[in-house]
Structure 1
Amino acid sequence: MGKLGRFAAIFIPMALTIASLICLSIVCVGQSNKDMDLANDLYFFKAITKDVDLNPNEKAGEKVNEANDKLKNLPNSPQFNEDLLKALQGSAKSNKLTDFYKVGIRGYCEGKIDGDKEIVEKCSDQVNYFWFNPIEVWGLEGTSAQNMFSDEFKKGLDSYKKVAKWMVTCYGLALAATALEILIGITALFSRWGSLATTIVSCISSGLAFSAALTITLLYSSLVGIFETVLKPYNIDSEMGKQMLSVLWLGVAFSLGSGIFWLFSTCCCSGKSDKKKVKVEKTPYTYERVASPYLGASANNSHQMHPVAPHGGHGAKFEPYRNGH
């Protein structure tokens, strides 16, 4: 069962590798097209800004006082800035600040909320080293409001920007290594050396995928924490995308699983044919034909191979044979 057994040995790791590549590719689709439902449902981070008051009033003042009371109980927390609230409300009034923002790995989408329905109106261009800069997106960059954000918020965004570059690079390498793993995996069909080479590539791709997924999870968890600490008093909510993270970590799980099965395939089913050459043994006490005495046999052999007929008759002609025993 050589070839068939070899195929069965690499079927599972190859299927897991393909499944991992599909999951990692789906992650790249998130927030890339406003007309694609799948893309709109997948995001790492979402900021909800629909509840920022459009007009300052007495209720806004109550929010200021309530926010200050909450912030006083938090260590090293920035004080609520009423001027910043007005700047955010002004941005919302001029439609620079929409109801929500969803962030993917290479871009973001924004739109309005109608009841329980989110309507995506626009998506940004897809860029290689993307990071979400709310100050720029909300139309506050270069204004006096930019300086009203706390140092904690600015430092958090700066760290996010730096780590995002590493995150995207690592993720791109994980995608490339997974695709390469599939190509090299084809050679594993023919030999265990192919399995060994594929196992090495699989370890690299799994390590990159795990590192990227861990970085993404920690990075956007930190971003949510910054928004909750600094912008929650301004009635801006944030959350992480569970669906996107589920697809991401499922791809990592598939990648790790494929590596284990590729390793197993290096020590089972070589892929060589099971046919063996059968050596025919001679049966004892049998005879086999030898060369004719006319082709140069010796005199002694000639006597053995041409027995004399009894009573002086002519010698009977027998085919010369020798004892096979």
Structure 2
Amino acid sequence: MVNAGRICCIAAPFLLSVGVLVCMVLLFVAGTSSGDKGTNDLYFLKINLTDLTLSTSANLPSEIDGANTTILGGALQAAKQALGMKDYYTIYLRSYCSWNGNDVYANCTDSKTYFWFNPIEVWGLNDTGISVDDYLPRSFRDGLDSYHAASKAMFVLYAAALAASCLTILVGFSAIFSRWGSFFTTFFAAAMAVATIGATGTATAIFLILRTALNHTLKDDYGIHSSVGTKALAVTWIGTVFAVAAAFFWLLSVCCCSSRSPYNPGSREARRTRAEKTPYTYERVGSPYLGPSDQQAVPLSNLGPGNHGGGYVPPYQHPRGAAYEPFRAQQGV
């Protein structure tokens, strides 16, 4: 039998788990459909090349001072003119989008497992006849390598969070009927919380590192500006708060709100003997030596031979063996 109190007890963690699932799904579908401004706004990083400026010395030979900057500038100029670099690039969990002008999110790539955005490959800098790998600043290479290495762990953690949220919701239905259901659901909820915390922390860290690396190398010299997507970070952090709260309330539901009703004939509580006061039990009256008070009962009648007036006779004046009748309230006389 389903207890209404039990349903109310697990409603909060159940709804929080659904909230985690919604947040994870939004991050997974973001960047998968061209022109979808609703979910495509949930990017982790945006690169703006509208202010791209190339030095007039971009094609000077590498032997002069500032050779690394010159070679990278030449590659950027060739890529912009010949390979059609876009004005904007937005990076998501499984893909990226690019567009020019007002044609927002026009070109979104297919979703890919363990996706990572390699600007050298995407912009085709090595396809311009100039190999820039050996001329990139160390900070840029270190930031890009860190992002590449952590992108796999980030995807695994987000996938685990998505799967754990689904399992938490499915197993959570069993918690309606017993606290054992809450006990098993708590394990999946704990896994959901751990995976979500790990995914959110990893994503926040690596995209901040990538933004810093890109801006340090490309912003001042070439006008290429990168920014972290606040909406995507807000969604993933909200999902993390939901996951932690859901795990806590699932654990709390193990100890509280039993689904068994004490009035269920089949329950152990119902089989226990209960001593309850009924309105038909006799109350103790005053001392027979003092007589009844105004609020106490008096005999219906006195059957003793010495009381012809029918008044009250204390028990010590009754003849031996005389009958003694039960009491009734004075209001009923």
**Which bin holds the TM-score, normalised by the shorter protein?**
0.7 to 0.9
Is 1:201 equivalent to 2:192 in the alignment?
Answer: no
Q: Is the 8 A contact 2:48 2:88 kept in 1?
A: yes
Q: C-alpha distance in 2, partners of 1:79/1:95?
A: 23
Is 1:175 equivalent to 2:138 in the alignment?
Answer: no
- Post-superposition offset of 1:79: 7.7
Once the two structures are superposed, residues 126-159 of structure 1 have per-residue CA deviations (whole angstroms, 9 ceiling, x without a partner) of 1010000000000113542423322332232122
SS at structure 2 position matched to 1:46: strand
- Post-superposition offset of 1:280: 9.9
- Post-superposition offset of 1:268: 1.3
One-letter identity of the residue aligned with 2:211: V
Which sits farther off after the overlay, 168-177 or 153-162? 153-162
Q: Give the TM-score normalised by structure 2.
A: 0.73
Once the two structures are superposed, residues 259-309 of structure 1 have per-residue CA deviations (whole angstroms, 9 ceiling, x without a partner) of 11111111112101221358699x99xxxxxxxxxxxxxxxxxxxxxxxxx
Once the two structures are superposed, residues 7-37 of structure 1 have per-residue CA deviations (whole angstroms, 9 ceiling, x without a partner) of 1111111001001100111011221111211
SS at structure 1 position matched to 2:125: coil
Q: Is the 8 A contact 2:90 2:97 kept in 1?
A: yes
Q: Is the 8 A contact 1:2 1:274 kept in 2?
A: no
SS at structure 2 position matched to 1:126: coil
Structure 1 segment 84-123 matched on structure 2, within 5 A: 84-114=72-102, 119-123=104-108
Structure 1 segment 132-151 matched on structure 2, within 5 A: 132-142=117-127, 143-147=129-133, 148-151=135-138
Structure 1 segment 302-317 matched on structure 2, within 5 A: none
Q: C-alpha distance in 2, partners of 1:277/1:196?
A: 26
Q: C-alpha distance in 2, partners of 1:2/1:120?
A: 49
Is 1:250 equivalent to 2:251 in the alignment?
Answer: no
Partner of 1:32: 32
Partner of 2:328: none
One-letter identity of the residue aligned with 1:6: R
> Which of 151, 174, 178 is equivalent to 1:191?
178
- Post-superposition offset of 1:39: 2.5
Query: Do the aligned partners of residues 44 and 157 (structure 1) sit closer, same or farther apart at CA in structure 2, a change above 3 Å counting?
Result: same
Unaligned runs of 5+ in 2: 60-64, 264-269, 282-333
Partner of 1:271: 259
Which sits farther off after the overlay, 187-196 or 145-154? 145-154
SS at structure 2 position matched to 1:34: coil
SS at structure 1 position matched to 2:261: coil
> Which of 224, 233, 257 is equivalent to 2:211?
224
Q: C-alpha distance in 1, partners of 2:28/2:272?
A: 57
SS at structure 1 position matched to 2:256: coil
Once the two structures are superposed, residues 163-187 of structure 1 have per-residue CA deviations (whole angstroms, 9 ceiling, x without a partner) of 1011101110111011101111111
Q: C-alpha distance in 1, partners of 2:166/2:29?
A: 17
Query: Do the aligned partners of residues 278 and 42 (structure 1) sit closer, same or farther apart at CA in structure 2, a change above 3 Å counting?
Result: closer
Q: C-alpha distance in 1, partners of 2:204/2:252?
A: 31
> Bigger relative contact order, structure 1 or 2, given CA contacts below 8 A and separation 6+?
1
Query: Do the aligned partners of residues 260 and 280 (structure 1) sit closer, same or farther apart at CA in structure 2, a change above 3 Å counting?
Result: closer
Which sits farther off after the overlay, 93-102 or 103-112? 93-102
Query: Do the aligned partners of residues 235 and 145 (structure 1) sit closer, same or farther apart at CA in structure 2, a change above 3 Å counting?
Result: farther
Q: Is the 8 A contact 1:2 1:269 kept in 2?
A: no
Which sits farther off after the overlay, 227-236 or 215-224? 227-236
- Post-superposition offset of 1:199: 1.1
Query: Do the aligned partners of residues 226 and 259 (structure 1) sit closer, same or farther apart at CA in structure 2, a change above 3 Å counting?
Result: same
Q: Give the TM-score normalised by structure 1.
A: 0.75
Structure 1 segment 2-13 matched on structure 2, within 5 A: 3-13=3-13
Unaligned runs of 5+ in 1: 62-67, 69-77, 285-325
Partner of 2:70: 82
SS at structure 1 position matched to 2:20: helix
- Post-superposition offset of 1:38: 1.3
Is 1:51 equivalent to 2:36 in the alignment?
Answer: no
- Post-superposition offset of 1:161: 0.9
SS at structure 1 position matched to 2:101: strand
RMSD: 2.6
Query: Do the aligned partners of residues 279 and 248 (structure 1) sit closer, same or farther apart at CA in structure 2, a change above 3 Å counting?
Result: closer
SS at structure 2 position matched to 1:229: helix
